[in-house]
Amino acid sequence: MGAVPTLGVVALDCPDPVALAGFYRAVLEWDAPEVAEDGHWVTLANPLGGAGIAFQRVPDHRPPSWPSAENPQQLHLDLNVTDLEAAHERVLGLGAKLLDDEPKTFRVYADPAGHPFCLCAC
């Protein structure tokens, strides 16, 4: 590896890293996560070789209050889909909460820990 970094993971704070990794594993249909011995850090590796997602236990985690700036989202994940309706039903069944369905080409959801993410059919 040289002096120019590559993106390894995007890390999300949450109260239960194992549970949130399980949610995203199901959404993305990725392989089983790697769980640190103490359970405070869980990593989902991208099977296609790109950046993965990590989950870090924060005992006093406060979920973002989208779209309010009271407790801002700070970041969100955009997940690309080709069938927005089918993907919508799927993520709701996995525990996501719909936050905004006004846009025609994407929808905004909260994961079980409250982090916003979008399903994009743009």
Q: Where are the domains of the chain?
A: 7-60, 62-122
Task: Determine the pLDDT at residue 98.
Answer: 97
Tens-digit pLDDT profile for residues 27-63: 999 999 999 999 999 999 999 999 999 999 999 998 8
- H or E element, residue 19: helix 17-28
**What is the architecture of the domain spanning 7-60?**
2-Layer Sandwich (3.30)
Say yes or no to pLDDT of 1 above 70. Answer: no
Q: 62-122: same fold as 7-60?
A: no
The secondary structure of 72-98 as a DSSP string is -----EEEE-S-HHHHHHHHHHTT-EE
Please tell me the pTM assigned to this model.
0.87
Of the candidate CATH numbers 3.30.420.480, 3.40.50.970, 3.30.200.20, 3.10.180.10, the domain formed by 62-122 belongs to: 3.10.180.10
Q: What is the mean pLDDT of residues 55-75?
A: 86
Which 8-state DSSP code applies to residue 39?
Answer: S
Say yes or no to pLDDT of 13 above 90. Answer: yes
Q: What is the rounded CA–CA span in Å between residue 74 and residue 115?
A: 9
Percentage of the residues of the chain whose pLDDT score is greater than 70: 98
